[in-house]
Chain A
Amino acid sequence: MEEVLLARIQFASTTLFHFIFVPLSIGLALIIAIMQTMYVVKKDEIYLKMTKFWSVFFLINFAIGVVTGIIQEFQFGMNWSAYSRFVGDIFGAPLAVEALLAFFLESTFIGIWIFGWNKLPKKLHLACIWLVSIGTVMSAFWILAANSFMQNPTGYVLQNGRAEMNDVVAVLTNEKLWVAFPHTIFGSFATGAFFVVGVSAWYLIKKRKVDFFKKSLTISLVVGMLSGLGIAFTGHAQAQYLMHAQPMKMAAAEALWEDSGDPAAWTLFAKIDVENRETTKRIDIPYMLSYLTYSEFKGKVSGMNALEQQMIDKHGEGEYLPPVKTTFWSFRIMVVTGGTLLGLGAMGLFLLFRKKIVESVWFLRLLIVGIFLPFIGNSFGWIMSEMGRQPWVVNGLMKTADGISPNVSAGQILFSLISFSTIYTILGIIMVVLFVKFIQRGPEEQPEEDVSATDPFETGGAGHAIK
């Protein structure tokens, strides 16, 4: 079944690539909206310059996010037609709503925002970027509503050979959605925040535009710290959810073959032998897993052997183990990046409060490295979530291998896989090159340098609109 493998590689690679840009867009939209709000409220030019400087990165990133998103919608039907037939009734609805509610909002108002600097009254123009920000967040909600059905199907009935929606409230109150949505959103805010934090740190080390970048750093550190706390709390909620809704994913994430002891220890790292079904050389933190999953220092966690037997009893003979090593290590990488971000945020705010941050060059260097952490955390969080669900595409209802298009050949998928990978690689390189270029250039020589001389709202066209 090389079609299945190729289709999975394509879905994984295009989604992971898309998910580099999406969180950054969501995070930067919020931070830019905050900066522009401060400009409108405080009437200080510097916040306008900050808005404009950071929006350069936001817009480049947004463009790539948009174009890589189109593929996502198409490839369900293209590569996974059997899946699409099976779930369209309930999975398609949130996607359609996402387009109607979120995509129209963000794409219309981002157009108005980019081109409307001289054409709209200040506050109306500010409202546009907030609508973009709201649009990006709503978009995440609806796509996660769809994804949550794959993880934890609710609100459906099996009839006419497919899953049909029979309770929209159950779809929208899916427990998975309400742990995954805040977790993803905080992760996204952190991505935008630590990008701004890291780039600002680079300028502070160079002592360029210190005031400008200290202000940027302050705003983004506050957003980053709050997001870090949000990530931690919602991550805890995710673990509690997993324990009762997707115990197999939890067991794989812990590489637990047999049921754990009570209280359960959390494994820091270990040597996993999938073939012989054993995990050796564990370095454990006692009580921790019980706390993670039950919020108390007791309670045991089921192992994969017992869980697999349950699945065999329920669904018949077959393989029911997700890729254990991938799930296990993805989980750890995610947790470590999240924890590190929280530490960086706390330390950063502390130094800022003590007015020592500009001198703490060693710490500023760490913050530059911090740019990459959220991307790593986002990607591995996603890998854990999707790989840990295997072999199911819809948990307990449809296996991934049964979801592909029977009429699409391996050769066709290979063609599209190569095409998309090539163009994505080019886009990735261009993004990095442009980002480096605009970071080096700095705010003083942005194309819109005229803003330093004149406030766009005070000139020409929009003059009549403001008092």
Chain B
Amino acid sequence: MPLSDIWFILIGVLFTGFIFLEGFDFGVGMSTKFLARNDLEKRVVMNTIGPVWDANEVWLITAGGAMFAAFPHWYATAFSGFYLPFVVLLLAFIIRGVAFEFRNKVDSKAWVKTWDWAVFIGSILPPFLFGVFFTSLIRGLPIDGDMNMYASFTDFVNVYTVIGGVTFVLLSYLHGLLFIGLKTVDELRERANTAARKVYALTGVFLVLFIIFTYLDTDAFTDHGAILIPLYSLAVILYGLLFFFLKTKREGLSFTMTGLVLIIVMANFFIALFPNVMISSMDPAFNMSIAEAASGEYSLKIMTIVAFTMVPIVLAYTIWSYYVFRKRLTGDKEHLEY
């Protein structure tokens, strides 16, 4: 396998890791509005991700850096092409990131309320924008022969991308609720699990719509049906199983199911793109292939060595960090950092 293919997969893995991990962070952020009823509950909810959200975000930074290094053309075309959506994304990340730290620093209702909104907006916008980003990537974008993308509003916002965005938001919310269910006790835990059962159906509807429109609006199934059909069947089966796990209150398994569904949805994008990194809606000849977009062999070789040394180490201490904070949060009985 050429090194550029390995890096395509690695970037897929990094983005998937980001969506899996930051997915529940986003869901937890949304829960501060939808689930928590008072200040203490909000704080408990935020503290469930307190030790980990920052590191989870690094998966995105690393994915972006890896794109820059391994596929300069992909990075350049996509990041300049998605200019305005990315500005909004960055603003959302900024207010969310400081909100956790700022929130309890001033004893004023207005202050706390402001940062609560920042957490909420900063948690609901990014999954939506990532849904739009990935769906429009496989739908095709107006990329010309010079690899420059000149997208108009409807390239970003259309039925398929909006369904993609909403699906990401709902899946993240569900994923986050189940995470809260795993990390809290008593009433909050109960309420999180109940809320998860409530959004189950709606999320399911959007997941199915998403699959249908992926079939209708992209070439994914024509080109990669042999892999995507079994993969999506698996997603539907897992999502069906989730219904029973929710009903029987198998919290760990439920969380695993939403995680796996998110992973499959993300895998779908990279499978659909292969062997391209960008699909041109102007002319298939302008599609940017993995090989065209990639850096030289030497650079990829160096980075492969670094990545295959570092990723296991990063994974090891990441897992350890989750192990350190494995206990449920009891709220009023302990010190809350946020």
- Whether the Cβ atoms of A110 and B58 lie closer than 8 Å is no
Complex interface: stretch among B66-74, B158-166, B218-226, B272-280: B66-74
- Complex Cα spacing A245 to B141, Å: 43
- Whether the Cβ atoms of B68 and A96 lie closer than 8 Å is yes
- Complex Cα spacing A407 to B145, Å: 13
Count of chain A to chain B residue pairs whose CB atoms are closer than 8 Å in the complex: 229
Closest to B79 in A: A77
**Distance between A209 CB and nearest chain B CB, rounded to angstroms:** 21
Question: Which residues of B lie under 8 Å from residue A59 when comparing CB positions?
Answer: 101
- Whether the Cβ atoms of A63 and B100 lie closer than 8 Å is yes
Question: Which residues of A lie under 8 Å from residue B321 when comparing CB positions?
Answer: 108, 111-112
**Distance between B255 CB and nearest chain A CB, rounded to angstroms:** 20
Q: Is the C-beta of A430 less than 8 angstroms from some C-beta in chain B?
A: yes
Closest to A93 in B: B69
Option from A107, A116, A450 in Cβ contact (under 8 Å) with B324: A116
Q: Is the C-beta of A79 less than 8 angstroms from some C-beta in chain B?
A: yes
Question: Which residues of A lie under 8 Å from residue B149 when comparing CB positions?
Answer: 407
Complex interface: stretch among B180-188, B197-205, B311-319: B311-319
**Distance between A455 CB and nearest chain B CB, rounded to angstroms:** 14
Query: Dominant SS at the A interface?
Result: helix
- Whether the Cβ atoms of B72 and A89 lie closer than 8 Å is yes
Q: Is the C-beta of B295 less than 8 angstroms from some C-beta in chain A?
A: yes
When each residue 141-178 of chain B gets 1 if its CB lies under 8 Å from chain A and 0 otherwise, what string results? Answer: 00000111110000000000000000000000000000
Q: Is the C-beta of A73 less than 8 angstroms from some C-beta in chain B?
A: yes
- Per the 8 Å Cβ criterion, residues 45-90 of A in contact with B are 59-60, 63-64, 66-68, 70-71, 73-74, 76-79, 81-82, 84-90
Q: Is the C-beta of A253 less than 8 angstroms from some C-beta in chain B?
A: no
The verdict on A115 contacting B337 (CB below 8 Å), with A93-B299, A97-B306, A437-B106 known, is: yes
- Whether the Cβ atoms of A84 and B72 lie closer than 8 Å is yes
Question: Which residues of B lie under 8 Å from residue A369 when comparing CB positions?
Answer: none
Interface range on chain A: under 10, 10 to 19, 20 to 34, or 35 or more?
35 or more
- Whether the Cβ atoms of A110 and B324 lie closer than 8 Å is no
Q: Is the C-beta of A165 less than 8 angstroms from some C-beta in chain B?
A: yes
Option from B51, B71, B76, B93 in Cβ contact (under 8 Å) with A67: B93
The verdict on A85 contacting B50 (CB below 8 Å), with A59-B101, A97-B306 known, is: no
Option from A119, A162, A408 in Cβ contact (under 8 Å) with B325: A119
Q: Is the C-beta of B285 less than 8 angstroms from some C-beta in chain A?
A: no
Q: Is the C-beta of B109 less than 8 angstroms from some C-beta in chain A?
A: no
- Whether the Cβ atoms of B98 and A407 lie closer than 8 Å is no
Q: Is the C-beta of B57 less than 8 angstroms from some C-beta in chain A?
A: yes
- Per the 8 Å Cβ criterion, residues 134-181 of A in contact with B are 159-160, 162, 164-166, 168
**Distance between A228 CB and nearest chain B CB, rounded to angstroms:** 31
The verdict on A79 contacting B80 (CB below 8 Å), with A63-B101, A73-B61, A110-B54 known, is: yes
Q: Is the C-beta of B240 less than 8 angstroms from some C-beta in chain A?
A: no
- Complex Cα spacing A88 to B294, Å: 9
Given contacts A99-B62, A115-B51, A427-B98, 7 further A-B contacts (CB under 8 A): A88-B68, A116-B51, A165-B299, A406-B148, A407-B150, A434-B106, A437-B106
| Chain B residues within CB distance 8 Å of chain A | 47, 50-55, 57-58, 61-62, 64-73, 75-81, 83-84, 86-87, 90-91, 93-95, 97-98, 100-102, 104-106, 146-150, 295-296, 298-299, 302-303, 306-307, 310-311, 314, 317-318, 321, 324-325, 327, 335, 337
